[in-house]
A = this chain, B = another copy of it.
Amino acid sequence: MTKISFNEMKNTVKQAFLNAGLHEKQADICAQIHTETSCDGIFSHGLNRVARFVDYVNKGWVDINAAPERVKSLASLEIYDGHRGIGITNALFATERAVELAKQYGVGIVGMRNTTHWMRGGTYGWKAAQQGYAAVCWTNTESCMPAWGAKNTRLGNNPFVMAVPLHEGAMVLDMAMSQYAYGKLQVTRLKGEKLPFPGGYDKEGNLTDEPGPN
């Protein structure tokens, strides 16, 4: 097994993002988070998302020049339009803004529409907890889950995050609403393995442990 240092990996990813047109600071932040996520063992949302992110930038699905714009302010609650900017930097902005509001009001709530994939949701829980704030974070996804007992997919497997700061470190829950996150299906499929427990239904409506294509 070849070992690669954190900095070598981060710099490689950063260069890929610079090549895709991201500004220096954006590329640095995004490379840091993709690399940290893989180092934490969350392979589903780290390095293996780099190529897809670059693809989405090239297709114009992510606007690397967009910045979040505040569209509503209700004291401790603010709503932003993410203008389809980079999911990671948009979500970090929202987290920082929520922390600022919490400093001022005790609680801060930030909603953001029109943003793109934030990669690992737990990232934003840790960011808040590292500053001493408890956080609840979530986002919507495509409709990829059936409602209970249904056959067609009408619900998102919307990730849900809860983070609580401890004296040392933090306690962070980061979960999908589905049996497995999309990324976990991909990781299992890439390994050529079966899921440890059935994760959904096949076309005949039977439970299956096959990590189907997304």
Contacts and interface: CB of A to CB of B under 8 A. Distances in A.
A105 B75 CA distance: 5
A76 B102 CA distance: 9
A123 to B, nearest CB: 24
8 smallest beta-carbon distances between A and B, as pairs = A75-B106, A76-B106, A74-B106, A77-B106, A105-B105, A76-B107, A76-B105, A107-B107
Contacts of A109: 106-107
Nearest to A77: B106
Interface of A: 74-77, 104-107, 109
Nearest to A108: B107
Contacts of A104: 75
- Total identical chains: 2
Given A76-B107, A106-B109, A107-B107, 5 more contacts: A75-B104, A75-B105, A75-B106, A76-B76, A77-B107
Residue among A75, A104, A107 with max Cβ neighbours from chain B (10 Å): A107
Contacts of A77: 106-107
A77 B76 CA distance: 11
Contacts of A107: 75-77, 105, 107, 109
A76 B74 CA distance: 13
A35 B209 CA distance: 52
Contacts of A74: 106
A106 B109 CA distance: 9
A77 B133 CA distance: 13
A77 B107 CA distance: 7
A74 B102 CA distance: 10
Contacts of A105: 75-76, 105-107
A77 B106 CA distance: 6
A214 to B, nearest CB: 27
Nearest to A75: B106
Nearest to A106: B75
A171 to B, nearest CB: 18
A106 B79 CA distance: 12
A104 B106 CA distance: 12
